Amino acid sequence: MNVLKRIQLRRFSNEKLQSVQPQLDESFLPMNFSDPNQLARYLKKKVLAHAPGRFVVIEKPYGISCVGQLQENGGVFGNSVRDERKTEKWAGTIKARTEEQIGVTISDSLKFLRKLLREPQLSFCTGLKRYLSGAIVMPCNEKDANILKDCIRRMSADVEPPFMYNALAITVGRPEKTSGTITGFSTFRNVGKHKEYIFEERKVTKRAKSGKYAVEGHMSYRVLDTKNNISLIDLSINKFARHLPRLMLSHMSAPILGDTIYWRRLANVDGVPELISAGNKGHQIYIPPILSKKIGVPSRALLTSLPMYFHVYNTVFEDVGGYEAHGLVAAAKPPRHFIKMLDTLDLLLAYQKFKNQSEKPVEDPSMPVAKTSGDVIF
């Protein structure tokens, strides 16, 4: 068969598939970036605050990695996982994925951003996971980079709310309680013939913690609204290491919409969502019927076609030196595709109510300001 014939058949096959299976509307999907220069120009337009010579606060898009690969000796904060095999290979940076899988990253765009923002020492310090959107703070000198690192180390160790990261998640199902605090640890454990991250709601042992077999975390949450077994949850957490918030939410029978790993742990039992143990297979995954109806895509396709609807609306740095009044609060509005999903699932009103309440003046000036509007306070 010649090349032209194969192309024609492939085109016919794709067109036939598209005519049978409706495609996900682009408004439900995040933006894509083809090269570092394009990303840098976009980020320049999304600068939320700029203290010349000290910090630049930018809006990180969903699906964009800050670094995109494992760093030598764990990067900024060292290894969080005990793994001798990785340690042996660390003669330099380990690339966990191919460049095609990683895509363009914030780090890739740094050389362009430095010129666009006239900050020759602009650097990446720490940011947000690929599956998160929100504001990140980039230092413009080594001293402020170390200040940010020290602040994050202190705040990530907090065991009582309020915590450093405040986020919104659209979830499948809802926790049993409307609000509360959950404490526990995540670890990588054998489940059948493979390993998965699991969460245990109990205090981690000193041996597991010091040996880096487990990462302990704390999260407070409240359900803002639930419609058709889909919820909007406001949560505050002290760290994102080892999939902690994703595991915590799925542990409470409320996995994040679009989380292809942990959504699968919610089984459909006679039309009711029921949490199952990690590693179980052969069950029917619970997919709220309203999703397919509202979005216009077959239920099964939704498991792999949706982004993760998880947005950090503000990050609080308690003390960055020179801005002690409220510290530094880096805030960003949810992205377009997040708002679109809220509107589609009849949860937009709950978000607007939450946003209005969050932006009311704080009576106690000693309390951090909870911002969602995209403002950044120094």
Please give the Cα distance from 238 to 279 (Å, whole number): 27
Q: Identify the band that residue 20 occupies on the pLDDT scale cut at 50, 70 and 90.
A: very low
Please give the Cα distance from 56 to 48 (Å, whole number): 8
Q: Identify the band that residue 325 occupies on the pLDDT scale cut at 50, 70 and 90.
A: low
Close Cβ partners of 296 (under 8 Å, ≥ 6 residues apart): 22, 25
- Of 235, 218, 220, 234, nearest to 184 by C-alpha is 218
Q: Which residue has the tokens 């396709």?
A: 301
Taking residues 1-23, report their average pLDDT: 46
Q: Identify the band that residue 70 occupies on the pLDDT scale cut at 50, 70 and 90.
A: low
pTM: 0.84
Higher-confidence position of 5 and 219: 219
User: What pLDDT score was predicted for residue 209?
Assistant: 64
Question: What rounded mean pLDDT belongs to the chain?
Answer: 82
Question: How many H helices and E strands in the chain?
Answer: 12, 13
Residue 96 has pLDDT above 50, yes or no: no
User: What pLDDT score was predicted for residue 69?
Assistant: 56
